Amino acid sequence: MTFDPIAVALTVTSVLDRLGVVHTIGGSLAASFAGEPRTSIDIDIVAALGEADVPALVVALEPDFYIDGDALRRAVRDRSSANLVHHETQLKIDLFVAGGTPLDEQQLARRRAVDVGRGRVLYMHPPEDIVLQKLRWYRLGGEVSDRQWRDALGIARTQGPRLDRAYLTRFAPALGVEDLIDRLLHEA
């Protein structure tokens, strides 16, 4: 069995594309492209998913994924998330329904096409939005997750002067992470 998280992500995003659902990838997969690669990869997808999209999404993904249609409908209604699990690799994908955080619309509007090799493209959060999300998760986790902090710091260091610091300081208050942005930029 070949473990290719990019191929798994492409399986889901190709279905979202066919359904016309705008989406973007965050999490460690996006962080690895914008910062320092890491071996443990999870796939977080933010999608502008509506109730009408759920049946077709379930039917299209069921052959390759465990997908709970009721949980997905609940996520759409509550603007929260549902999990998909790839049968072959057991890789978990967190599918976040847009509208659950103050920056979801920004992430979707600012998403970037990233060439992931062999003519394959995934839409991913830009580095600034990955940093903001990583710091949000760091804060929500009691500021103890070294992994979230390391990912954010790796992106800040890798991106260097390309990182839009004005954007970070403008949108950090919406997530309550302005102090963390200051600390991160100082350490980077």
Entry pTM: 0.91
Distance CA 117, CA 57 (A): 26
Is residue 111 a contact partner of residue 133, using CB atoms and an 8 Å limit? Answer: no
pLDDT tens, 4-44? 899 999 999 999 999 999 999 998 899 999 998 876 678 99
Helix (H, G, I), strand (E, B) or coil at 83: strand
Q: What is the percent of the chain with per-residue pLDDT over 70, rounded to a whole number?
A: 98
pLDDT confidence bin for 100, thresholds 50/70/90 = confident
H-assigned helices in the chain? 5-19, 27-34, 54-61, 69-78, 104-110, 127-140, 146-159, 165-175, 178-187
Domain 5-124 - what CATH class? alpha beta
Distance CA 170, CA 103 (A): 12
Which string of DSSP letters, residue by residue, matches 100-129? SSTTHHHHHHH-EEEEEETTEEEEE--HHH
Bridge-based pairing state of the strands 43-47 and 112-117: unpaired
Distance CA 173, CA 6 (A): 32
What would the two tokens of residue 146 be?
Answer: 């070294």
Domains of the chain, by residue range, sit at 5-124, 127-187
Residue 2's pLDDT is what?
59
Residue 166 has pLDDT above 60, yes or no: yes
What would the two tokens of residue 19 be?
Answer: 């359904």
Residue 40's pLDDT is what?
67
